[in-house]
Amino acid sequence: MSETNITIEEFERGLHELTPLEAKCKAMLKQKLGGGQDLAKRIAQAKRDLVAEGYALYAERYDPVDIQDGFISFTDRFDISAIYQSRYLPVHAHVHDFIEAVFVYHGRCDLVTDEGTTRLDKGNLVIVSPAYRHDHCVMDDESIILLIAIRCDTFNNAFFGMLEHKDIISDFFLATLYDSRIQKGLLFCTGNDKRISDTILEMHYERTIEHEYCGEMLASLLGRLLVLLLRNYKDRVEIVDAAGPVGNPRLVPILRDIQANYRDSSLQSLAGKYGHSESSLSRLIKNGTGKTYKCLVREIRAKAAGKMLANPKLSIHEIADLVGYCDTSHFYKDFQWFYKVTPGQYRQRLDASPRGPGNTGLPEDPHPRSS
């Protein structure tokens, strides 16, 4: 698949064939463990003994990453790269210094962690946190797993730049990928969505063939992929952790509900609306975001108030009422908890800012807390 003159159709057909590396790995594993239907299970049991030999074979091929003792670093000259998951290659659980997208183009894949295994089926796409310890195994001739490696700053600019500014959903995605208390993966179940599979296939074709403006084309295709995911699957995303998909795929709609109705939202009403007890909903929110329900509402109200303070026609008392506070003193307390300045001081900074309203010099989330 290194020829620069092959078509994307020829490239795709080649993915269904075992590569020389895969044939070597398959033969090596069969020689050590014998054949049979339970090959994958027996490979898992003998994985530590086989992994060194597997990597020795792996070193015979080029890849845009460097593998050292369970840590994978990004070495490609492009900011975005495509990596083909070799079949029958036993690997260590690892972390890496980039964002990884694992896509099941055909068949299935096991996403393995220290605590267990999650089965990924055709159309499943997992965006993996850099610190999420995992590996992915393919132990049959038919499955095709396509990986995308993205430098963290490139992913941040592309992905989070598409989300609404200050939106609770972007906070949720950001926490899932980068918050040390969570750091898992985001699972998008895209099924037979040909737009998704074709886009990822084209990224692999582009990186393999490396035509002129390859880097720019990869960036464009990544943008298309992320738009398709956010447009069609944002409300159905699941969190993947060490034990598999957790929480509830309805967490994103719940967070969106909190965002839209923060003025009069209550844990009791949300629990009834989405079929949870208050305690189970509290756990779902905390496990998914790293923050309590109360903390989320306080932050949303503080951010909304920060925007309103740019309007000199609104008094602080009126703003407190607009964002859901009956008691102005309570509003002052929560606002200062979030911004570390009073509403009046915040407004003074807005008035003094040469860059206009909304530019206070304060960080967007200066003191993130969980309670």
Say if residue 223 is in the same domain as residue 293. Answer: no
In-domain check, residue 2: no
In-domain check, residue 371: no
| Confidence check: pLDDT of 357 > 60 | no
DSSP-based three-state secondary structure for 66 = strand
In-domain check, residue 359: no
Say if residue 260 is in the same domain as residue 172. Answer: no
The domain that holds 53 is classified in CATH as 2.60.120.280
Say if residue 272 is in the same domain as residue 339. Answer: yes
DSSP-based three-state secondary structure for 371 = coil
Residue 219 CB: number of other CB atoms within 10 A? Answer: 18
CA–CA separation, 189 and 192 (whole Å): 9
Say if residue 290 is in the same domain as residue 171. Answer: no
Say if residue 214 is in the same domain as residue 261. Answer: no
Confidence band for 21, pLDDT divided at 50, 70 and 90: confident
Say if residue 337 is in the same domain as residue 230. Answer: no
In-domain check, residue 221: yes
In-domain check, residue 241: yes
Identify whether the C-beta of residue 305 lies closer than 8 Å to the C-beta of residue 343. yes
Contacts of 300 (CB under 8 A, 6+ apart): 168, 258, 259, 262
Say if residue 191 is in the same domain as residue 74. Answer: yes
Confidence band for 145, pLDDT divided at 50, 70 and 90: very high
Confidence band for 35, pLDDT divided at 50, 70 and 90: low
Between the CA of residue 78 and those of 75, 108, 159, 213, what are the distances in Å? 9, 28, 17, 11
Say if residue 268 is in the same domain as residue 238. Answer: no
CA–CA separation, 223 and 221 (whole Å): 5
Say if residue 235 is in the same domain as residue 278. Answer: no
| Confidence check: pLDDT of 359 > 60 | no
């859901």: which residue's tokens? 324
What is the total count of domains within the chain? 2
Task: Dump strand ranges (E) for the chain.
Answer: 65-68, 71-74, 80-84, 95-96, 98-106, 108-112, 117-121, 124-128, 135-137, 144-151, 185-189, 238-241, 244-246
| Confidence check: pLDDT of 190 > 90 | yes
Say if residue 34 is in the same domain as residue 121. Answer: yes
| Confidence check: pLDDT of 184 > 50 | yes
Last residue of a domain, one of 246, 278, 296: 246
CA–CA separation, 306 and 325 (whole Å): 14
**267-279: per-residue pLDDT in tens?**
999 999 988 999 9
Say if residue 236 is in the same domain as residue 256. Answer: no
Last residue of a domain, one of 246, 267, 285: 246
The pLDDT value given to residue 94: 80
The domain that holds 292 is classified in CATH as 1.10.10.60
Give the whole-number percent of the chain exceeding pLDDT 70. 72
The pLDDT value given to residue 158: 80
In-domain check, residue 101: yes
| Confidence check: pLDDT of 46 > 90 | no
Token reading at 253: 């709609």
What is the residue range of 265's domain? Answer: 251-352
Sign of the CA dihedral with 196 first, then 197, 202, and 204 last: positive
The pLDDT value given to residue 67: 55
In-domain check, residue 360: no
CA–CA separation, 205 and 9 (whole Å): 10
Degrees, nearest 5: CA angle 335-341-342: 60
The pLDDT value given to residue 320: 95
Residue 256 CB: number of other CB atoms within 10 A? Answer: 16
Determine how β-strand 185-189 pairs with β-strand 244-246.
unpaired
CA–CA separation, 106 and 335 (whole Å): 50
């499955």: which residue's tokens? 143
| Confidence check: pLDDT of 48 > 50 | no
Overall pTM surpassing 0.85 (yes/no) = no
In-domain check, residue 310: yes
Number of H helices, E strands in the chain: 15, 13
Last residue of a domain, one of 224, 246, 268: 246
Say if residue 115 is in the same domain as residue 156. Answer: yes
